[in-house]
Structure 1
Amino acid sequence: MRVYGHNPSDPQQGPRPGREYVELHGGPLDGQLYDVTGMTPANQRDGALLITEQGAYGAGGRADYALGEQAGRWEWLGDVP
């Protein structure tokens, strides 16, 4: 499974021991892992705007992901410029 922010050609693109991840569900980053190591529970509830080239706004656009109902998973809320 690929970790968000790692180059797809990087042989070390998978999860690393000792790190905490959530799975991104839906949208352009569906199925990728996002490293939340060190994030407070409050920050995790806030979610993140993640840069993606695959979203509705192309290069430099962002995909909005936030804590979902299922533990360990963030849901896609939509794309923003």
Structure 2
Amino acid sequence: MDAAWVGRRVYGADADNPEPGPVPGHSYVELVGGPQDGQLLDVTGWSPLELADGALLMSERGAFGPGGRCAYEPAEVDGVYPSRFGWRGDVP
């Protein structure tokens, strides 16, 4: 785990979770831009094809409010896993 990610919030962590940060032994990408900017996404177990596809994440803070989604795609690649997913827009 990247030492810079310690203390960062992981996407999907419960709001009342006293430790919403990364878990040792898991793989993460940083979400850059959009409503989830700065959060980490747990991609443990994702295949290279799944990583290449990016993620469509639920977000109540996006342009479409509750039930809307945010599209994120790989922004840079470091070996097998990308280190960041960049925001590409919101979808209903």
In the alignment, structure 1 segments of 5+ residues that lack a partner are: none
Alpha-carbon distance in 2 for matches of 1:60, 1:12: 25
TM-score normalised per structure 2: 0.84
3-state DSSP of counterpart to 1:43: helix
TM-superposition CA deviations, 1:31-81 (whole Å, max 9, x none) = 000000000011001001000000000001000001012540000000000
TM-score normalised per structure 1: 0.95
Q: Counterpart of 1:50?
A: 57
Q: How many residues align?
A: 81
Ranges of 4+ aligned residues in structure 1 off by more than 4 Å? none
Alpha-carbon distance in 2 for matches of 1:33, 1:69: 15
Q: Percent identity?
A: 56
Q: If you compute each CA radius of gyration, which structure gives the higher value, 1 or 2?
A: 2
Q: Indicate which of 29, 53, 73 corresponds to 1:66.
A: 73
> What RMSD over aligned residues (CA atoms) do the two structures have, in Å?
1.0
Alpha-carbon distance in 1 for matches of 2:11, 2:37: 10
The one-letter code sitting in structure 1 at the alignment partner of 2:74 is L
Does 1:80 find its partner at 2:91? Answer: yes
